[in-house]
């Protein structure tokens, strides 16, 4: 598994949340908000099925009327993203997965 960060070592965000300056009563803002498939090896679009808890193509899920989407929203750290990618064998080797950030230019690309 290869991880590509937008920043060099020493300038990366290691925490999973960011303090909002000047507002002590507001909870921390989550740094990452989810996973999405950036690019697959064969060019197919993969969707996340919430009911079956697996990745698959649109044609697999449209007949079942399950809820599905392009993003998986409950992944909020790099460690959780790596663990999720390692567990799911339906993601082919060479797939690029994007850990989406709440801040512009801070997304992390993970290649399986």
Residue 23 lies in a domain: no
Residue 40 lies in a domain: yes
Closest CA to 71 of 98, 41, 93, 110: 98
Residue 37 lies in a domain: yes
Residue 22 lies in a domain: no
Residue 96 lies in a domain: yes
Q: Bin 43: left if φ > 0, else alpha if -120 < ψ < 50, else beta.
A: left
Q: Mean pLDDT, to the nearest integer, of 83-105?
A: 90
Q: Mean pLDDT, to the nearest integer, of 83-101?
A: 91
Q: Write out the residue range of the structural domain in which residue 52 sits.
A: 2-11+28-111
Residue 49 lies in a domain: yes
Q: Is the pLDDT of residue 11 over 80?
A: no
Q: Is the pLDDT of residue 55 over 70?
A: yes
Q: Is the pLDDT of residue 27 over 90?
A: no
Coil, strand or helix at 11:
coil
Residue 16 lies in a domain: no
pLDDT at position 71? 83
pLDDT at position 97? 92
Domain count, the chain: 1
Q: Mean pLDDT, to the nearest integer, of 55-70?
A: 79
């Amino acid at each position: 598994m290869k991880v590509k960060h937008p920043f060099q070592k020493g300038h990366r965000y290691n925490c999973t949340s960011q303090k909002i300056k000047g507002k002590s009563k507001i909870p921390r803002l989550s740094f990452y908000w989810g996973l999405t498939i950036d690019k697959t090896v064969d060019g197919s679009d993969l969707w996340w099925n919430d009911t079956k808890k697996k990745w698959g193509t649109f044609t697999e899920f449209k007949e079942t009327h399950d809820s599905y989407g392009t993003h998986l929203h409950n992944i909020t750290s790099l460690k959780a993203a790596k663990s999720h990618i390692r567990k799911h064998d339906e993601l082919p080797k060479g797939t690029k997965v994007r850990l989406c950030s709440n801040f512009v230019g801070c997304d992390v690309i993970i290649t399986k």
